[in-house]
A = this chain, B = another copy of it.
């Protein structure tokens, strides 16, 4: 299927990912469409459940556009969840109110691993429909980011059967039955690649891999069980559409120890959490990759003047590497908190645009 979309008016985000010069530093926020916005909570209530919202392209479109309408952000990101893939594999996803995700059929023994297959992408049609509808309604205002969980991060939920703090079950499988773990990760990698390529076909102009739990792995195992499979996904992605590059961002939360190796994964840009010093990260990875991050989301609980000071500090830390401000997409180092006052986001957007423009001029 070929779509015809309006031309892109603001390509600052795409240019920054590709390390091309821009007039200011673009920004978007992980989980920018979400509970901190009253207009989101209103739609969420009408939808009845999280999955009810995520599986309805009209509603998914509505909430994706909310932060774009409200703030001058430089990219939209598909409203969805990383667990749509294991749900399409038949694991039976539900979100209990206030409890996080649960799978009715977690993958905890050899038989369950053997039964696992790459899901038919038709079962994820609602996601691709949402992508196309969002891209259409964006009408070229800003680019649309598609996304997926990393193979390892999906496996964490699939084996645990839900969230976890110590990853007890998935790590037990990893250490005791690495063969089963690798089998799951191979299937996940194939599924994630197909899923992201279908999002690109549907209209996504950049894609991001969320490796939320890679940082829970020991050095050595991170490379074998997470990074290896992200590299495998990236190698299978279409990297341009109709001659236009579709950049790919990789974000391992807690991935600070491995930046050089993640930078060599084939991705165009690297997401960073707030423990990393941006200038040191730039020095470590050189000029071969864009960087995205990395304000502590808790800064948004402060006053506008304090937010501005932290933005300034962040931009200066990036510039300290000596190659200017280009190649940087401003973001939080983790998803925005549900307790964030929307006015703080407005102050953040203004500060990033303003200060980064001034710094470039001066």
Residues of B within 8 A of A215 (CB): 275
* B175 touching A217, Cβ below 8 Å: no
A275 to B276, CA, bound (A): 14
Q: Is A183's beta carbon under 8 Å from chain B?
A: no
Residues of B within 8 A of A69 (CB): none
* B302 touching A276, Cβ below 8 Å: no
Q: Is A240's beta carbon under 8 Å from chain B?
A: no
Number of identical protomers: 2
The minimal Cβ–Cβ distance linking A336 to chain B, given in whole angstroms, is: 11
Which of A298, A301, A302 is packed against the most chain B CB atoms within 10 Å?
A298
* A168 touching B306, Cβ below 8 Å: no
Binary contact track A242-254/B, C-beta < 8 Å → 1, others 0? 0000000000001
The minimal Cβ–Cβ distance linking A150 to chain B, given in whole angstroms, is: 16
Residues of B within 8 A of A174 (CB): 298
Identify the A interface with B (CB < 8 A): 166-168, 171-172, 174-176, 215, 217-222, 254, 256-257, 274-277, 294-299, 301-303, 306, 310, 313, 317, 333, 337, 339
Partner of A301, one of B175, B219, B298, B313: B175
A176 to B341, CA, bound (A): 14
Could you list 10 A-B pairs, sorted by A, with CB under 8 Å?
A: A166-B337, A168-B337, A168-B339, A174-B298, A175-B306, A175-B310, A176-B306, A218-B275, A218-B294, A256-B256
Partner of A176, one of B277, B297, B301: B301
- 7 nearest A-B pairs in the assembled complex, by CB-CB distance: A171-B298, A175-B302, A218-B274, A172-B301, A219-B277, A218-B296, A256-B257
Given A254-B254, A339-B168, A219 contacting B276 (CB threshold 8 A)? yes
Given A257-B256, A337-B168, A217 contacting B275 (CB threshold 8 A)? yes
Residues of B within 8 A of A302 (CB): 172, 175-176
Residues of B within 8 A of A167 (CB): 298
A317 to B298, CA, bound (A): 36
A252 to B217, CA, bound (A): 17
The minimal Cβ–Cβ distance linking A215 to chain B, given in whole angstroms, is: 6
A275 to B226, CA, bound (A): 13
Residues of B within 8 A of A303 (CB): 176
A274 to B171, CA, bound (A): 13
A303 to B215, CA, bound (A): 24
